[in-house]
Structure 1
Amino acid sequence: MMMKCNTSFNLGIDNKALSRGFVLPLKVNCKKTPHILLCGSTGSGKTYALKYILKQLAISNSLIYLCDYKGIDFIAMQECERYYKHQNVSEGVNTVFDLLQNRMENPTLDNQACFLVFDEWSGFLASVPKKQQEEFKQKLASILMLGRGVGIFLLLAMQRCDTTNFLSGARDNFGVALGLGRLSKESARMLFSDEADLIEPKPRGHGYLRVDGQPTVEIVIPKIRDMSITDKVIKNALCE
């Protein structure tokens, strides 16, 4: 019998609570609020945050597909079956899209939670011809709109969020918006809409979080005590 996956995990710590001397974890449950959009420029702590989340997904028995377009920050995973880098990231998207179709055609109540984690979506799109861009945007839109019902979730990371990277309406299916560091005006508007004017530049590992349309809160990504252990846990999950 398949082990049940825990789709609830921490994204970070409430900064306001931390300033008052106590730790308040900021949790999200993807079954209730699916799909995460993470934005942060170079030096914002975006990759660090990804690893913090990935470790939790790994120990929760989730099925993880990691697409790393830059092929640098997750190089320790390069021998794993479900790790894709550079142009091979297209294979990762296609694999999860096919899994989506299969689960919809063969419904079951025992679907293992699956996460497509894609680092640098905008960079990948810019590297392929326009026709292929539209094809991959369509596949991403299908995962965003239909994935929750069959236990497939998306964690998309970009240096700069832009509406041109999505089909019209698709981005509205992100239930969680996480912005770190110094966000551009365009990124702030896309992530936090009506509260964009309140967004201020933050240091590395600090930023803003909005879950399911609720008021935006300031967030801090906790320190990872031993990155080598974190990488090992993630690698084991990707290689299983």
Structure 2
Amino acid sequence: MKTFKTTFNIGISQKALSKGFVVPLKINFKSTPHIILVAPSGAGKTYALKYILRQLAEADSLIYLCDFKAIDFSTMSDCPNYFKHSDVNKGLEVVFELMQKRINGDVGCEQPCYLVFDEWAGFLASTPKKTQEEYKQRLASILMLGRGLGIYVILTLQRADSSNFSSGARDNFGVALGLGRLSKESARMLFPDETDVIEAKPRGKGYLRVDGKPLTEISIPTIKDMSKTDLIIRRALLSSDEGGH
């Protein structure tokens, strides 16, 4: 049986970098599932997302990308695992249905599956109130049950707001990443115990918390070949595998 990698670099330590050392900051989705990434416009959110996505793709992960704005990943438009604009809810449903299949034993859980949802808040704001609640409940179920089924969520927002989640759902994010100039509300939601020490950071830099451990200052490394990175991500989004077949 093939063994799939679930440990990836999320960035590098800014503290070590300031001393001339490159120390990768790693996360293991199996032990610390789900990432919430908050960054205002221009803070490097998409760049960080591509840095992570490439690694997931290179590990033969099953990836579903929901891209509400459909700007930064527009070249992926013809990929079956890519959903844009008003169709992003379909990506959420596909992963929710896959989760049900894995629960019922209809498919295996060996291949890690990642639901990557870019601009969750923007998507919710575009839907009626009643439908919003349905989508929030779907996400909450995946966040709560996904770990044991090899299904993980990476969610991005420009601003963090508790109204974007069902009650208690955001507590299921094991990894919190905030980049750039975070609003006080975003800092309070991501890092409630360190709000007073959060400072505005330049593009591609910010703060990381993994599994409730102390806050770490993080820098997103330079992607040396963006064209190749996009191609690798694209290939993963062309995959029609269904997690364990």
The structural deviation recorded for 1:76 is 1.1
Partner of 1:58: 57
Instruction: Give the drift of 1:54.
Output: 0.2
Q: How many residues align?
A: 239
Identical columns (%): 64
Give the structure 2 partner of residue 221 of structure 1: 220
- In the TM superposition, 1:1-240 aligns within 5 A as 1=1, 3-106=2-105, 110-240=109-239
For residues 102-134 of structure 1, the C-alpha deviation after alignment (integer angstroms, 9 at most, x for no partner) is 111117765210000000000000000011000
What SS class does the counterpart of residue 111 from structure 2 fall into? coil
Structure 1: unaligned runs, 5 residues or longer: none
Contact 2:102 2:108 in 1 (8 A): no
Q: Please, what is the CA RMSD of the aligned residues?
A: 1.0
1:165 deviates by 0.2
Q: Which residue of 1 aligns with 2:242?
A: none
Q: How far does residue 196 in structure 1 lie from its aligned partner after superposition?
A: 1.2
1:196 & 1:109 partners in 2: Cα distance?
A: 42
Distance 1:108 1:149 in 2: 14
Counterpart residue identity of residue 86, structure 1: H
How far apart are the structure 2 equivalents of 1:154 and 1:107? 21
- Note closer, same or farther for the CA distance 1:89–1:109 as it changes in structure 2 (3 Å cut): closer
SS at structure 2 position matched to 1:193: coil
* Separation of aligned partners in 2, 1:110 and 1:137: 24
Moved more, 22-31 or 106-115: 106-115
Find the residue that maps to 2:146 and give its secondary structure: helix
The amino acid of 1:236's aligned partner reads R
> What amino acid does structure 1 have at the position aligned with 2:155?
L
Mapped to 2, the partners of 1:105 and 1:85 lie a distance apart of: 29
Secondary structure of 1:194's aligned partner: coil
Work out the CA distance in 2 between the residues paired with 1:215 and 1:109: 36
Question: C-alpha separation between the residues in 1 aligned to 2:69 and 2:107?
Answer: 36
Deviations 1:209-231 (A, max 9, x none): 00000000100000001110000
Contact 2:109–2:149, Cα closer than 8 Å, also in 1: no
What is the TM-score of this pair, normalised by structure 2?
Answer: 0.96
Distance (Å, rounded) in 1 between the aligned partners of 2:118 and 2:154: 8
CA distance in 1, matches of 2:233, 2:152: 17
